[in-house]
Amino acid sequence: METADAVVIGGGVIGTSIAYRLAEHRKVILLERGELGAQTSGSCDKAIFLQSKKPGFPIKLAQASREIYETLEEELDTSIEFKKNGGMIVIESEAHLASMKKFVKERNKAGLDVKLLDDKEVHAWQPGLSGDILGAAWCAQDAEVNPLLLSQAFAQAAKRRGADIRPHTEATDILCERGKVVGVQTRHGKITTGTIVNAAGPFASEIADMAGVGLTIMPRRGAVLITEKLEPLIHGNILCSQYIAAKHAASDTADAPPYGIGLSLGQTESGNLLIGGSREFKGFDKSVGPEVLSAIARHAVRIAPVLKNVKLIRSMVGFRPFTGDGLPIIDKAKEVEGFFIAAGHEGDGIALAPITGHLVASLIDNKEQYKDLLKPLQLDRLQAV
């Protein structure tokens, strides 16, 4: 009979980050039903934005994660293409100008270095943008990383600490006795363990069901267009003010932009542009229609006419794990001892992956260190609304 001190279910940026931290002091097995990082964590943008988070706790959490990024490459001993290129939220319409001025003030009050740039400053920094852009919020602390490398780097570093990382190994049941976790059934056999971490992102509700734990995490679909490799066309990552409105809307409301579209624009180290994106509730349906893809392209070209003649090579679709209040759940289940949840990072999982590993390790060890960050992430906050 195989045994482990802890089993992590899910091999995206969140599960691999957790496996790495837990493996420091334990025998860890990570189960991933497909390839590592091939679901949401491999179908997303690469921005580590601070300014896009809400003031108060969400910014505090993102800052804690961003601090870990400062030395993460060195710690994991491999390139994750972490770059401190800053981030910009462009203002497209007079209607957004007043709210974005307030947005900048609130971020400054929360301790972020965000500046309001006028149209000339924006064009001097990003000449590819439309002459109609009125200004932008600029944050030098915003950064970027390659999410594909991030999952792999965490997994490799976890392996070096002795973790057993198992792609193509699906968890099919959680085994409980007298209200306690005693093991997990996989397609390739049973593992005895007293600790399971559900890090299955948008699929976390299915895993919670196996343990008889109530958890509602919905897939919020997003599509991104990918271009051919190009010379550097933009500096850092760019969002638009409509993106902020779509991100913080809790549902597809009548005044939301069609398909939840808001520009997210970034360029990979190899030169491909990532042009996003949409936000829709369509279950796990990956078949995004041409009307959504062309709406993303039209919106992007309006803001950045330099994109008009670039060649698209493909698109990708991912499912943001949506909890309803923009924050993940990092907590232990009350119903079943030994069952932990770390899921629901919605559109912020790349930014929040590093802190999530620390939070879960601290939670399992019942340490004091991160109690203030864990409290607002408890499961019952959602059951209470």
Q: Do 46 and 142 meet the contact criterion of CB atoms below 8 Å apart?
A: no
Long-range contacts of 307-314 (CB under 8 A, 24+ apart): 307/128, 307/227, 307/273, 307/275, 310/227, 310/228, 310/230, 310/233, 310/273, 311/227, 311/228, 312/225, 312/226, 312/227, 312/228, 313/226, 313/227, 313/228, 313/272, 314/226
Using rule CB under 6 A, residue 153 touches ligand FAD? no
Q: Do 159 and 113 meet the contact criterion of CB atoms below 8 Å apart?
A: no
User: What are the beta bridge partners of residue 223?
Assistant: 317
For the segment 181-220, give every residue that binds ligand FAD (CB under 6 A).
Answer: 199-203, 207
Nearer to ligand FAD, 104 or 329 (CB): 329
CA separation for the pair 31, 194 (Å, rounded): 15
Q: Using CB under 6 A, which of 8, 18, 19, 44 touches ligand FAD?
A: 44
CA separation for the pair 366, 88 (Å, rounded): 39
CA separation for the pair 17, 155 (Å, rounded): 7
Using rule CB under 6 A, residue 7 touches ligand FAD? no
Q: Using CB under 6 A, which of 6, 7, 8, 15 touches ligand FAD?
A: 15
CB of 139 to ligand FAD, least distance (A): 14
For the segment 68-127, give every residue that binds ligand FAD (CB under 6 A).
Answer: none
Total number of residues binding ligand FAD (CB under 6 A)? Answer: 43
Nearer to ligand FAD, 40 or 141 (CB): 40
Point out which span in 71-79, 104-112, 338-346, 364-372 binds ligand FAD (CB under 6 A). 338-346
Point out which span in 30-38, 63-71, 92-100, 358-366 binds ligand FAD (CB under 6 A). 30-38
Q: Alpha helices, DSSP H only, in 260-379?
A: 290-303, 349-364, 371-374
CB of 25 to ligand FAD, least distance (A): 22
| Sites of contact with ligand FAD (CB under 6 A) | 9-15, 31-34, 38-41, 43-47, 170-171, 199-203, 207, 222, 224, 276-277, 318, 320-321, 343, 345-351
